[in-house]
Structure 1
Amino acid sequence: MTLALEWIDERSEADEAAESGWPALLEKLLNAAGEMEGIEDGVVTLTLTDDEGIRELNREYRGLDKPTDVLSFPMRGGEDPEIHYEDEFETLEDENPEEADGDPFAELLGDIVISVPRALAQAEEYGHSVERELGFLFVHGFLHLLGYDHEDENGEKEMFAKQEAVLSKAGLSR
């Protein structure tokens, strides 16, 4: 298995011409970030939404009734994973015992949700390309899936340094 990006677009309108390169760019960033972190396998689901869609998720999962730019929902936990499933689910082990450990979510790294209008506004505000902002938000979300956080100064420095390294490798430096 390799790293894979599943793509969901919940927006009612999209600029297909301007966004045509986004899937290839984000797959490139996923692979670069995965390589940096030693992650060779897994699936990341990316959902593109609008401010209202991300506001609803932010309210439901974080108790904050306002839009944000990116949310991450990790599927892999440490010793106390947040995802639970019933025994009646068919597992990969049932299908191919050589390739699974019995966990039907083993290959899922998690979900990243990005508000495209917020990304567009932030790209303009920061004076860089939409691709750089989208890439920044995606890599930021991916690192959250792996357990990185920026709750304190050291965590923030580490996380942001890793983000910049991946973005620079992809030619999206400031």
Structure 2
Amino acid sequence: MSLAIVWSNEQEEHHISDELIALLESILQMAGEAEGIRKGEVDLTFVNNERIHELNLEYRGIDRATDVLSFAMNETGEDEPEIIYALEDNGEQEDVPYVLGDIIISVPRAQEQALEYGHSLERELGFLFVHGFLHLLGYDHQDAASEAEMMSKQENVLVRAGLTR
């Protein structure tokens, strides 16, 4: 199994084209290669500002819309349940996908930011997707050094994908 996107569209403001999904799949392969991740599944959901606002409030306690949210599946904590894999009839573990986590992107917010920064919606969605993917792997931007590292990794992937500003 290689890296894969399982996606859904829960917003109606913008059409999600096959070309966009192919671009994001390519970006996922490049970002995974750069990080040494060869297999796994990323669940990607496109939403509107209202829905991402609800999720941001519910899961982060922040009462406003944001552009992207990430929920890593490999985080462990005291409230995290242990993952139990199903077994085949012969006692072998089922071949289930290794889910890295969920990335949720507000497409209207991405459109606003693309206009603000003067680049394409595809570039902004690519940026948000790579940003979310890096969060799934444990990267963060709580201080200047970690933010610089994350930004560098994001830009390297976007340049390889031809999504420059």
TM-score (norm 1): 0.86
Supply the AA of the counterpart residue of 1:130.
Answer: L
**Gaps (5+ residues) in structure 1?**
none
Distance in 1, matches of 2:49 and 2:82, equals 31
What is aligned with 1:117?
108
Distance in 2, matches of 1:128 and 1:12, equals 22
Cα distance change, pair 173–166 in 1 and its aligned pair in 2 (3 A)? same
Within the candidate set 52, 55, 60, 1:54 is matched to: 52
Contact 2:13 2:48 in 1 (8 A): no
The answer on 1:126 being equivalent to 2:124 is: no
What is aligned with 1:11?
11
Distance in 1, matches of 2:123 and 2:79, equals 31
* Alpha-carbon offset, residue 97 of structure 1: 2.7
The answer on 1:21 being equivalent to 2:19 is: yes
The answer on 1:155 being equivalent to 2:146 is: yes
What is aligned with 1:136?
127
**Gaps (5+ residues) in structure 2?**
none
Distance in 2, matches of 1:81 and 1:108, equals 20
CA RMSD of aligned residues (A): 2.1
Supply the AA of the counterpart residue of 1:27.
Answer: E
Structure 1, residues 76-123: CA drift from partner, whole Å, max 9, x if none?
Answer: 126x4864147xx6x24x1273776xxx7x701000000000000100
* Alpha-carbon offset, residue 151 of structure 1: 0.2
What is aligned with 1:167?
158
TM-score (norm 2): 0.91
Distance in 1, matches of 2:75 and 2:128, equals 21
Distance in 2, matches of 1:75 and 1:136, equals 21
Cα distance change, pair 81–157 in 1 and its aligned pair in 2 (3 A)? farther
Distance in 1, matches of 2:31 and 2:74, equals 17
Distance in 2, matches of 1:82 and 1:74, equals 14
Q: Secondary structure at the match of 1:150?
A: coil
| Runs of 4+ in structure 1 over 4 Å off | none
Cα distance change, pair 12–131 in 1 and its aligned pair in 2 (3 A)? closer
Cα distance change, pair 5–83 in 1 and its aligned pair in 2 (3 A)? farther
Contact 1:150 1:159 in 2 (8 A): yes
Cα distance change, pair 82–160 in 1 and its aligned pair in 2 (3 A)? farther
